[in-house]
Amino acid sequence: AYADIFTGVYSAVAILAALRQRDATGLGAHIDMALLDTQVAVLANQALNWMASGVVPHRMGNGHANLAPYQSFACADGELIIAVGNDGQFARLCDVLGLPLANDSRFATNPARVGNRAALIAALTVAIVEWRKADLDEALEAAGVPAGPINRVDEVFADPQVIARGMAIERGGIPGVASPIVIDGTRMVSDTASPPRPSSPPEPEPLR
């Protein structure tokens, strides 16, 4: 599914580019999209890391090869993603958690944190597990540290922003998910209810 979805997104971009070429030149285009090509393309920084260093990346779960801490952590009642992108954010994270790690030479810079990832994550894990995920998320947002809870699907659709954006829809009594595309205030699919679909296919007409 991962490759299917990304190939669809890339294909949509390719179609738009081909239409733009047609408008500019009058010429059509043949679009060649392969699932394999897309999978290679979305390796992103992992591919470039290997190309630059020759070091083969290993599995990291939801961690980031080039940044630390940048992964999920267990809280008292669930999990929270913390995505520290620079040293200032790390210092503010440490302030929220009441940890002196930002002054430790092993963790003072991002390269140092990446090099000492195991010790860093161990120290953070002990502190973070004491927090409820909503409380820590709120504290980190106030401190300007990127973070967000990992939600169950029911929690996703109970989220105030998801509700405000109208992402849960119903068409003829059938629940669904709204298109994320909004142009000039209108979603790509109309928000008005469509006529109900028949519950079963129509009976075939008799042979003549």
Q: Give one DSSP letter per residue of 12-59, joined into a string.
A: HHHHHHHHHHHHHHS--------HHHHHHHTTTHHHHHHHHH-PPP--
Whether residue 93 contacts residue 145, with contact meaning beta carbons closer than 8 Å, is answered with yes
How far is it, in rounded angstroms, from Cα 24 to Cα 16? Answer: 12
**With contact defined as beta carbons under 8 Å apart, do 130 and 83 qualify?**
no
Distance CA 94, CA 143 (A): 10
Please, what is the angle between helix 87-97 and helix 117-128, to 10°? 40
Active site residue 191: no
- In eight-state DSSP terms, residue 146 is -
Selected catalytic residue, list 4, 77, 135, 159: 4
Return the residue matching tokens 């920084």. 45
Q: Which amino acid is at 23?
A: D
Active-site residue set: 4
